[in-house]
């Protein structure tokens, strides 16, 4: 691991993607465990830098328990590094298999799935309309009120694009 970020010790690489690298690290001031997302290229395109800045701006005002909090957006080499809270967790399937999940956990998982769809890398993977986001939130609320939990939730299931598509024959 050759990356160096002032004020942080990088401990391990969690994900090595097409455009980003995600590390687990430790903040030197208080030894807090953090997640650090950086852009892969040494001189990334301005579009990629803007996308990382936009991701920070979206999640920064969200002060929701159970949702990862951003600590800072830091200058890093010729780019930026997004420093996030590192919270313990498990895979949804593991949580459901043990059936020890609480109502809060179900809500956190659903909200996390919605946020991930909002922050998807490509435009096609994001919500195509505000109606789709509203439909997902209403579906979560309906399931919570009806059963006390959220099951089989797939974000964007009822999301539709504003474009009229003519099928090809």
Contact between 132 and 89 (Cβ < 8 Å): no
| Residues 54, 38 share a domain | yes
| Residues 77, 12 share a domain | yes
Structure tokens at 29: 């001031």
| Residues 73, 26 share a domain | yes
Higher pLDDT, 160 or 8: 8
Helices 103-118 and 130-147, axial angle in degrees (round to 10): 170
69 located within any domain: yes
The band of 27, judged by pLDDT with boundaries at 50, 70 and 90, is very high
CATH number of the domain residue 57 falls in: 3.30.200.20
pLDDT higher than threshold 50 for residue 164: no
- At 1 the pLDDT is 46
Residue with tokens 């930026």: 80
| Residues 78, 12 share a domain | yes
Whole domain around residue 131: which residue ranges? 92-147
| Residues 67, 15 share a domain | yes
User: Is the pTM value of this prediction over 0.85?
Assistant: no
In the chain, how many domains are there? 2
The string of pLDDT tens digits covering residues 55-102 is: 898 888 877 766 788 999 999 888 999 999 987 665 446 554 555 556
3-state secondary structure of 18: coil
Taking the chain, what is the end-to-end CA distance rounded to the nearest angstrom? Answer: 52
DSSP string, 26-93: EETTT--EEEEEEESSSS--HHHHHHHHHHHHHHTT---TTSPPEEEEEEETTEEEEEEE------HH
| Residues 76, 34 share a domain | yes
| Residues 128, 80 share a domain | no
What's the mean pLDDT in 104-130? 77
Residue with tokens 């391990």: 12
Last residue of a domain, one of 45, 66, 85: 85
Report the mean per-residue pLDDT for the chain: 80
162 located within any domain: no
């Amino acid at each position: 691991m050759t990356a160096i970020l002032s004020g942080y010790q990088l401990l391990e690489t969690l994900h090595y993607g097409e455009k980003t690298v995600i590390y687990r690290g430790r903040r030197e001031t208080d030894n807090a465990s953090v997640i650090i997302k950086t852009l892969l290229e040494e001189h990334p395109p301005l579009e990629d830098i803007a996308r990382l800045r936009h991701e920070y701006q979206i999640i920064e005002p969200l002060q929701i328990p159970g949702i990862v909090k951003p600590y800072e957006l830091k200058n890093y080499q010729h780019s930026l590094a997004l420093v996030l809270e590192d919270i313990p967790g498990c895979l949804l399937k593991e949580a459901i298999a043990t059936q020890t999940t609480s109502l809060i956990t179900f809500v956190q998982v659903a909200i996390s799935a919605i946020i991930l769809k909002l922050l998807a890398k490509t435009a096609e993977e994001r919500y195509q309309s505000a109606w789709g986001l509203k439909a997902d939130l209403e579906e979560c609320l309906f399931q919570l009120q009806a059963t006390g939990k959220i099951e089989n939730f797939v974000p964007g299931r009822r999301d539709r694009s504003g474009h009229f598509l003519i099928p090809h024959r």
